[in-house]
Structure 1
Amino acid sequence: MPSRRSFLRLTAFGILVIALVTLLTPLLRPRTEPVAQPGPLVVVSMPTLRWADVDERRTPTLDRLADDAAIGNVATHAVAGHSCSGSVWATLSSGFRVSLDDGTPEAPASGPVVPCPPIPRPVPTGGLGELGGPARFTDSPRWRAELLAQPVPAELGLLGTQLLERRQCIAAAGAGAAVGAVRKDGTVASYEPDPRRADLRRCPITFVSFDGVDDAGLARIVDRLPREATLVVTGHADDQASESLRAVLMRGPGIPEGRLTSASSRQPGLIRTTDLTALVTSRVSALPGTSYEGRIPVVLPGASGDDVRAELAGTARALDVQHHLVRPFFTTYVLVSLVTIGVILLVLQRDRSRGQTIRRSSAGRALRIASAAVAAVPVSTFLAGLVPWWRWDHPTLGLVISVLGWAAVLATVALRGPWRSRRAGPAGFLAATTALVLAVDLVLGGHLQLMTMMGLQPVYGGRLHGLGNVGFALTASGALLAASLLTGRLSRRDPSRAARVIAAMGIVTVAVDGHYALGDEAGGSLALVWGFGYLALKASGRRTTWRGVALIAALSAFTALVMATLDMLRPRYERSHIGDFLATLIETGDLTSVVRSTFVNNWSMLTSQWVNLGVPVLLLLAAWAARRPLSSLGRPLTRLERQIPLLRIGFTAIVLCWIVGFLTNDSGTSIPPAGSILIVPLVVLMTACAPQPPADHAPGHAPDRAADAAAS
C-alpha cells in the first residue's frame, strides 16, 4: 500500500475531486423555476394519454391547454409489470410505488394486454343515495396491512390524512380519484362517481379520474375551474394499452411555461407519479416524519409548442421500442456471440495442431474482429442515443443499425489504432472507452443512460437518473480492467507508484459513481472501493492480510458515509435516496428496513426466472478462475498474465466488485451478467492478440505446466 505521505496526498486528492463535483456539477445543469399554487389544485387523470395522441382535431382542449403550460412525460410504473389506475392512484396516495391487489404482467410485444383488476369503489356514508358526500372503503384495513408489510413500507391514505391535519381536504370524482383521496381510516371527504360532475369548490384539492382520454369531459372541468386554480392533467396509467411514458401538463398562475422535471428524475421533460404527491404536499408546510419517494416538480423555462411536444412524443416512442426489443436483442446478441466465437475457437484448435500461431492464422484474425465487435456492443447501446433513430419509419431497424454501426466503428478503432501493436491495447481501449462514455454522460446529465436498452429503462424501472445496475457493472468492470492494464508494466518497475495511480483512478471513478449529482450509486461506491482497494494493494506488492482487508472495509464504509452526508445536507426535497436513507437512519436508528429491502428485491429477482439462478454459479466460476491458476478455467488467465502483468489481479478485483455490488444493491442480480458481457469478450480479444506458444507447448506439456506452477 502507499506510504503515509502518499495516503495523505490521495486523501487530499479525493477531497478535491468531491468538492469539484459538488461545486461544478450544478453549473452544468440548466436553470429551473419553481411552481406555485396560489389557488385550488385540480388533478385530472386520463389513462393511456400520450403526446402522440394530442392534436387540434382529436383533443382540442388538451391542445389548447398545452400551448402555454408546463409539459412533460410521466413514468407511471408502480410495482407490477403493468401500471393500472388503481395502483397508480394508491401510489399517489402513499407517496411510494405500491400495488393495490394488482399483479398485472407486462404487455406482450404482440397480442392482447392482460386486463387490469377493477378499481375499488367506496361506499357512500352520508346518507341513502347521497352523491358528492363522504364515503368509505371497506377493504382499507387489509390494504393498509399489506402495504405496510412490503419491503419498503407504505401507508395508503397518508397523503389524505396529513393534509386533513392541516385543514386541507381532498374531493374525489371517479373511483380511481377516491383511492388517491382516501385517508388512513378508509374514508374519503367527498366522493362523486361521475367525473364530469366533479364539485371543484368543495375542497381546496380535487382529484378527478376518467376511464380514458376524454377531451370533452376535460372541457367541462376546465369551464368550471375556480379562479386562480392550478390544473394538472396526467396520462396516469397504462391500463388497456402497452407500457409507455404518459403525457402530463400543469397550467396555472404559478406555473411557468416550459418542460417539467424534478429532482427524482433529473431528466428534462420527465417526472414520476410520486412527484405529483410532492406537488400536492407542497401546498402546506413541510410534512414531518415522512420522506416521500417523489420530489416537487420544477420547470425548465422555454416554449411548450409543437416542437417540444414532438420531442416528448419521440422520447416515449424510443422507449416503447426499446422496452419490447431488450429481451430479443440481447438473447440474439449473446447466442450469436457464443456460437461465432465458439466456431472460430474450434477452427483455431485445428490450426494450432498444424503449427499455425493465432496471430497469423485467418481464424485468429476473425477471432480478434469478432471479440472486439462483441465487446463494443454494450457501450454502443448507449452511443446509439446520439442518433435520432426513433424518427425513422421503422425505428426498431434504426435502433439495431445504430448499435451495430457504433460497434463496428469502435471495433475498427480498437484494432487499427496506435495501440494495436500492444498485446492488451485493443482490449484496454474498449474497456476505457466503455467507462469513459458512461462517466462523461453522467457529468453531462445522463441523457444516454435514459435512451439505451442497457440503461435505466423508465417504462418499467424504478430509477430515472444516475447509474442503474447494468450501467454500474459496465463502468466498474471497464474502469478496473483499464486500470490493471494501464499500470501492469509500471507495477513491475515501481509498485508504489502503480498503487498510487490505481488509487487516483479509483477515487475519480468512485466520485462519479457515488456522488448524488452524478451516478448516485450507494452500493456501487462500496463495491468500487473494494475492487480498486484490492487492485492497489496487490499492485503495491503487498500480500492480502486481515489488516489490509479491514482498511479497505473502513474506506468503503467511510466513502458511503461521505456521499450520504453530502446529500443529506441538501434541502429535503432535493435529496436523493442516499441522503434520505442516512436522515432516516439518524432519526429512527432502523437499518433493518434497507437491508431487508435489498435482500427481498435480490431474492425476488433471482427467483423470478430460472435463468437468473445461474448468477451465483457465474460468480463462483469467475472466482474459481481468478483464484485457481492451474484449473481449466484459470489456465487462460495464467498464460495471458505472463505477457500482461496484473491481468489476473485485475480480474480478481472485478469479480470482487461484482460480488459486493450483487450483495449491496437492490436488484444487484443483474450486475455479474452485465459485467461479464464486457469482460469475457475482452479476455478472448487479449488471447487473440497475444503471441501463442507453438503446438509442442500446448496445454498439458511439461514446459507449460512448469510455467503455470511458477506463475501461481
Structure 2
Amino acid sequence: MLRRLVPVLLTAVMVALGIAALVVRPAPKGPEQTADYVLVAGVPGLRWDDVDPANTPTLWRMAEQGAIGSLAVRSARQPTCPVDGWQTLGAGNFAAWDETVVGQTCPDPDITVERPDGISANLPDQRATVTYNQERLRWGTMPGALAESVRCTVAVGPGAAVAAARPFGRVDRYAAELPPDPSALLGSCVLGIIDLGTVSGDDPARRADAARRADEALARVLAARPERSLVMVAGVADTDRTSRLHVVVADGPGWGRGWLTSPSTGRDGYLQLVDLAPTALAALGRPAPERLFIGQPAAVVGDRPADLPTAIAAPADADREAGAQQRVAGWFFLLLAGLQCLLAVAVLPLLRRARRDAGRSGPAPVPRRVVGTVEVLLIAAALAIPAALVADIFPWWRGEHAGFYYGLVTAVVLALATAGVRLAPAYQRTLWPLAGVAGLAAVVVGADVVTGARLQLNGVTGYSALEGGRYAGLGAVGLGVFIAAILLSAGWLAQQVRRSWRPAVVVLVGVLGVIVVGSPYLGADAVGAVALTAGVSIAAVISTGGWLTLGRLAWASIAGLAVTVGFAILDLRQPLAQQGSLGRFLTAVGDGTSGLTVHRSGAANLSALAGSPLTVLALVGAVLVWFALLRPWGGLKRLFGIYPAIRAGMAGIVVAALIAGLLGGTALNVAGAAAALTVPMAALAALRVLDHATDRTIPAASSPDEPSAPPGAPDRSAGAVTVAPSGPRVEQSRRAAEEAGTAAQTGPAQPSAGVSAG
C-alpha cells in the first residue's frame, strides 16, 4: 500500500510546491496622484553620456528631482530609427513607419505634414502606415492608439506629429517648432508631444552641441508647463544600426526621486518605449485601449543613490555593457559550437576503442594520457557557459578591447573550474565528473538568479536589454543549463540511495529547481517552470529503472498538467495588464484573438531556429547521441542500464528543454544550452563505463535493499559489487580478465558486468 501511495504523494507535493512557486508577483504600484496634463518630450539618440550639469543643466536638474531610468527603444524594425520610435510611442506597441531597409545610419525622416488650417495638421501617409502595421507585421499594432485615447493632443515638430496623429492622420493641435511662449499651446490639450531635436553621430563636439540645443528647448517647455503636469523626457530612438540604451526622466506630481520601472521589464531602472503611452494615460487617469498596448504603466521605486552623478553612472555603464554584449555574444557561441563539434568528432575513435578486449588479442588500448586529456576537454566544454556567466562579474566591457578581455577572463574562470573538478579526490569515480560539473553549474546559475539575476542582464550568456525580450529573471541559455544541471544532479543523488527512495530524491531536487525557475521573485519564467515540472515528473517515474509504462506516464502527466492548470487559474485571476504569457494566451483564446499570439510565437521560434548557434549545438548533440553514444559500442545504453537514475535525468532534460523552447518562442536555444552541458558529460561517463566493461566483479552476498552496502555503489539490481577504477585493484581485475580469457579455452567463462562506483 505504501508503494502504491508514493506516486500519489509525489504528485501532490509536485503540484503544491509548483503552484506555490508560480504565484504571480504583484506589480509595482504607480503614483496614486494623477496629473491634469502630460507632456512627452522626445530626443532621438539622447544617452546618459550626453547629460552633464554644464552642457545640459535643465535636464540635470530635472533628473535630480525626478525619477530616471534606461529606455530600451525596441520597435517593429531593427534598428529603431527616429520615425519608427515616434510611431511606436504613439501606438503603445511595436510599430514601424514603412518597410524601407536601413543602412548603417538612419535616413532623415521624410514626413509630410499638411496644414489645412492654422491650428491642426494632417499626415497623408498615416493610412498607409496603419495598413502596413496591421497587415504586414505580427504585433497587431494600431498607429495612433494613444491619440485616440484622449480628447485632444498637441504636437510640436514633425516627429511629434507622427506620435500624436490619429489613425486617419489628424493632429488636433500642431506647431512646426516651439513658439517663443508655448504656454497657450501646451495648455490647449491634456496630452502634448514635443520633438526637441536629434542627437546623433560619434563626434563628441557634435553630440554636445545637439544635446545643448535640446536642453535649451526643454527649459522653455518646463517654464511654460501647465500646473499639475507630468513631464517625461525620452530618447525615443536610435540614429544608426548601433542599438543603445537611452535617457528617460519623469518629473511631476507623485514622480519624485527614484528609479523608473514597469511590470513589462520587472527590473528597477528600466523602461521600454512602449511603456510611455500607457504611463501617460495612467497619469491622466484614463483607461488604456484593450489589447492594443503591449507596454505597462511605469512606476517609481526607491533605493536610488542620493548623489546624482553616482546614480547616472549606473545606466551609462549598463549602456556600455549592453553594447559590448551584442558584439561579443555572437562570436562566443559560434566558437563554442565549433569547438564542441570538433570535440564530438575527436571522441568517436575513443568510444570505438574504449572497451578493452577480455583476451590477450585485440586492438591496443588508447593511451591513458590521451583519454585523460579528452576527459579534461569534455569537462571544460561542459563548463564553458557557466564560466562565461561568472566572467560577467568583472567589468570587462569598460576596456578598449572588450572582446579580448572577456575571452581572457572566461578562460581563467574556466581553467579554475575545470581544475576544481579534475583535482577532486573523488575524480576517479565513474560518475564524479558528471556530478561535479552538474552541481557546479546548478550553483552558479541558481546563485545568480537568487541574488537578482545581475549576471543574466546584459551578460554574454544572458539576455540583452536592447533586444527587449526580457529584463529580469532567467534567460533561455541560463534556463537550458539550469535544467540540465538540476536533472543530472537529481539523477546522481538518486543513484546513491535505495531504489524505493529515488523518486522522492528526484522530486525534492526538482521542486527546488522549479521554485528557482518559476518564482516571480527569482527566475520569473512560468513557461520554464512548467517545462521543468514535466521533465522532473518523467525523471521521477523512471528513476527506479524500467520503461515508461502507461501508468507511469499517467502520473507524470497528471503532475505536469496540474501545475500548468493551477498557474493558469491564478494567472487568469489577475488583471489583464498584469497577466503572464500563459494567462494572456488563454484570454486571447477566449476572445478569439489567439491566432495573433500563435503567429507571434511561431515567428519567434522560426527566427531563433535559423539565427542561433545554439541550434547547431542541439543538432550536433542529438547526432552524437543517436548515431554514436546509443550504438552498441557507444556505451550510453550500458550506462543507462547500470545507472537508471542517470537515464531518468537525461530523459527529463530532453522533455523539459524541448517544451521550454517550443512554448517560450526560443526554438532549440534551450535545448542547445542544455546539450552543451549534458552531451560532453554523457560522452565522458560512457567512456568510463566502456573502459571498465570487462572488470571482474564479486557476486553480491546481500539482498538488493541491504543498507550496509558500500557508499556510492551502483544499482544493486546488477547483483555485483564493482572493482575500483584505478590503483592496484584495476591491475588485479586486468589480470583476472586475462586469466578468464585463458580459462575460457578449457571451461565456462565467468560472467562480467559492472563498473566502478558512482
TM-score (norm 2): 0.80
Match of 1:162 among 149, 165, 168: 149
| Distance (whole Å) between structure 1 residues aligned to residue 550 and residue 620 of structure 2 | 26
| Distance (whole Å) between structure 1 residues aligned to residue 387 and residue 308 of structure 2 | 32
Q: Is the 8 A contact 1:568 1:583 kept in 2?
A: yes
What secondary structure does 2:155 align onto?
A: strand
Is 2:484 the partner of 1:483? no
Alignment-derived partner of residue 192 in structure 2:
206
Is 2:143 the partner of 1:140? no
Alignment-derived partner of residue 333 in structure 1:
336
Match of 1:38 among 35, 40, 43: 35
What secondary structure does 1:447 align onto?
A: coil
Q: 1:419 to 1:148 in 2, by over 3 A?
A: farther
Alignment-derived partner of residue 408 in structure 1:
415
Alignment-derived partner of residue 678 in structure 1:
677
| Distance (whole Å) between structure 2 residues aligned to residue 381 and residue 103 of structure 1 | 37
Alignment-derived partner of residue 359 in structure 2:
none
Deviation per residue, 1:570-611 (Å, 9 max, x gap) = 45444433333334444x1544333332222222443458x7
Q: 1:685 to 1:309 in 2, by over 3 A?
A: farther
Match of 1:543 among 544, 547, 569: 547
| Distance (whole Å) between structure 1 residues aligned to residue 417 and residue 241 of structure 2 | 38
Offset of residue 518 of structure 1: 3.4
Q: 1:245 to 1:184 in 2, by over 3 A?
A: same
| Distance (whole Å) between structure 2 residues aligned to residue 529 and residue 23 of structure 1 | 15
Is 2:405 the partner of 1:398? yes
Match of 1:95 among 75, 79, 92: 92
Alignment-derived partner of residue 434 in structure 2:
427
Alignment-derived partner of residue 314 in structure 2:
311
What secondary structure does 1:318 align onto?
A: helix
Offset of residue 306 of structure 1: 0.5
Whichever residue aligns with residue 126 of structure 1, its letter is P
Based on CA coordinates, which of the two structures has the bigger radius of gyration? 2
Alignment-derived partner of residue 729 in structure 2:
none
What secondary structure does 1:123 align onto?
A: coil
Whichever residue aligns with residue 507 of structure 1, its letter is V
Alignment-derived partner of residue 172 in structure 1:
155
Offset of residue 247 of structure 1: 1.7
> Structure 1 residues 451-460 or 687-696, which shifts more?
687-696
Match of 2:65 among 65, 68, 72: 68
Is 2:300 the partner of 1:296? no
Offset of residue 123 of structure 1: 3.3
Match of 2:511 among 507, 510, 519: 507
Offset of residue 222 of structure 1: 2.7
What secondary structure does 1:124 align onto?
A: coil
Q: Is the 8 A contact 2:23 2:570 kept in 1?
A: no
Offset of residue 25 of structure 1: 7.7
Match of 1:599 among 585, 594, 602: 602
Alignment-derived partner of residue 108 in structure 1:
none
Q: 1:288 to 1:102 in 2, by over 3 A?
A: closer
> Structure 1 residues 347-356 or 577-586, which shifts more?
347-356
Q: How many percent identity over aligned positions?
A: 25
Match of 1:49 among 46, 51, 57: 46
Q: Is the 8 A contact 1:101 1:117 kept in 2?
A: no
Match of 1:186 among 147, 162, 169: 169
**RMSD over equivalenced CA pairs, Å:** 3.7
Offset of residue 269 of structure 1: 1.3
| Distance (whole Å) between structure 2 residues aligned to residue 63 and residue 5 of structure 1 | 66
Whichever residue aligns with residue 665 of structure 2, its letter is D
Q: Is the 8 A contact 1:71 1:304 kept in 2?
A: no
Give unpaired runs (5+ residues) of structure 1: 106-112
Alignment-derived partner of residue 621 in structure 1:
623
Q: Is the 8 A contact 2:545 2:644 kept in 1?
A: no
Is 2:560 the partner of 1:563? no
Is 2:116 the partner of 1:126? yes
Q: Is the 8 A contact 2:142 2:292 kept in 1?
A: no
Q: 1:334 to 1:191 in 2, by over 3 A?
A: same
Match of 2:474 among 467, 472, 495: 467
Offset of residue 349 of structure 1: 8.2
> Structure 1 residues 144-153 or 470-479, which shifts more?
144-153
Q: 1:59 to 1:469 in 2, by over 3 A?
A: same
| Distance (whole Å) between structure 2 residues aligned to residue 190 and residue 236 of structure 1 | 21
Give unpaired runs (5+ residues) of structure 2: 200-210, 357-361, 695-733
| Distance (whole Å) between structure 1 residues aligned to residue 297 and residue 218 of structure 2 | 24
Offset of residue 310 of structure 1: 0.9
Deviation per residue, 1:112-137 (Å, 9 max, x gap) = x623355352533532xx3x523233
Alignment-derived partner of residue 667 in structure 2:
668
Whichever residue aligns with residue 569 of structure 2, its letter is T
Is 2:527 the partner of 1:527? no
Deviation per residue, 1:70-96 (Å, 9 max, x gap) = 111011122333122222222222222
Alignment-derived partner of residue 109 in structure 1:
none
Offset of residue 44 of structure 1: 1.2
Alignment-derived partner of residue 17 in structure 2:
17
| Distance (whole Å) between structure 2 residues aligned to residue 248 and residue 280 of structure 1 | 13
